[in-house]
Amino acid sequence: MPEGPELHLASHFVNEACRELVFGGCVEKSPVSRNPEVPFESSAYHIAALARGKELRLTLSPLPGAQPPRGPLALVFRFGMTGSFQLVPSDALPPHAHLRFYTAPPGPRLALCFVDIRRFGHWDLGGKWQPGRGPCVLLEYEQFRENVLRNLADKAFDRPICEALLDQRFFNGIGNYLRAEILYRLRIPPFEKARTVLEALQQRRPSPELTLSQKIRAKLQNPDLLELCHSVPKEVVQLGGKGYGPESTEEDFAAFQAWLQCYGTPGMSSLRDRQGRTIWFQGDPGPLAPKGGKSRKKKSKGAQRGPEDQVENPPPPNKAPSRTRRARRGLPEQTAAQQPEGTSLQWDPEAPRVPEKGKRRRQPATSGRRRPQKIKADTPSLEPEETSAS
């Protein structure tokens, strides 16, 4: 799922790929998309992108003398689970290209496409960032830090720190893999109370006797949680490529996987938080860990994927046995990716939530044979299934 770094890498891609291109004509929306039409037409215009947290603004700017005369138009994108931008020949559009911007003649006709396999992505007209989102952890670090420390009385910080880190009102750009990496580096239990972790930072003041270079060195050697919320996403951006997303090439994904220290790596444990999202960690989960939650350790190879790790690139349909036949053979059930619910910024709106399991009424047996017990699937693997663009 694209997080803050992936949105910033996408903005870099658009700006680099479209720097010398002139676009023209109407903006084309796929008929299956439920997003709004884009009422823009110009004989010649440029496209530029800017990312902020988990949003990306695309600005269409008509060139002087372009017809019909009109002003610029801006759109703000949220990528959902599988959103990305691709620049392709106009006669080779990728599947799920739900918004298309075509280049003007002369020259080969190209199309900049917003591609979204699962259609959870969204765009809004007008160019305004979504209300309620906090400052960007990458581009607005000082404002981000002040916003968190000023609002520690908010009930969001009564929750475990792993859940608070997904609250986009305060941690705009942080998602599932980033929260695991940040907490792991500081050895903070994921289910420690958020306020307990963050209140200590209000008292953190560098000694006035230190020189500026000494203060900088101390900060680099001993970063706190909010500083890592800024520096860890920067590391992903510096890796280049597409980051952790549906368009990652094998080379990009290999570099990203080598960078990971905690998320989905062998030897790490995992639990589901209250929203059904898997948090990876090492050691004690903390005092607010869900009661009855069973911690699982990541196996080195051969583990099945879980809902959180399948959603970016769902595997192609296979001819696996049906649920009933799998149960008879004693095979593990296959899990399906869950649909996201709601759009509250408190719970990372692009993230899928796993609903609670309801009780299912058992049918009376007719054959007299006992139904075999179902075997739970292993913990999810991070190994890529399909990393090329689709």
Active site residues: 2-3, 54
83 alpha-carbon distance from chain centroid: 10
What b/e sequence results for 339-358 when a residue is b if at least 16 CB atoms lie within 10 Å of its CB, and e otherwise?
ebeeeebbbbbbbbbbeeee
Cβ atoms of residues 214 and 178 within 8 Å: no
User: Contact 77/55 with Cβ under 8 angstroms?
Assistant: yes
**CA pair distance 245, 238, nearest whole angstrom:** 15
Q: Are 42 and 123 within 8 A, CB to CB?
A: no
In contact, 156 and 104? CB cutoff 8 Å: no
**In degrees, to the nearest 5, what angle opens at C-alpha 295 toward C-alphas 293 and 297?**
160
**CA angle (336 as vertex; 249, 331 as ends), nearest 5:** 105
Distances (CA, A) of 27 to 100, 254, 330, 366: 6, 35, 52, 60
Distances (CA, A) of 78 to 25, 85, 266: 24, 12, 31
Tokens of residue 292, six digits: 């009855």
CA angle 176, 177, 179 (to 5 degrees): 70
Whole-angstrom distance, CA of residue 245 vs CA of residue 86: 13
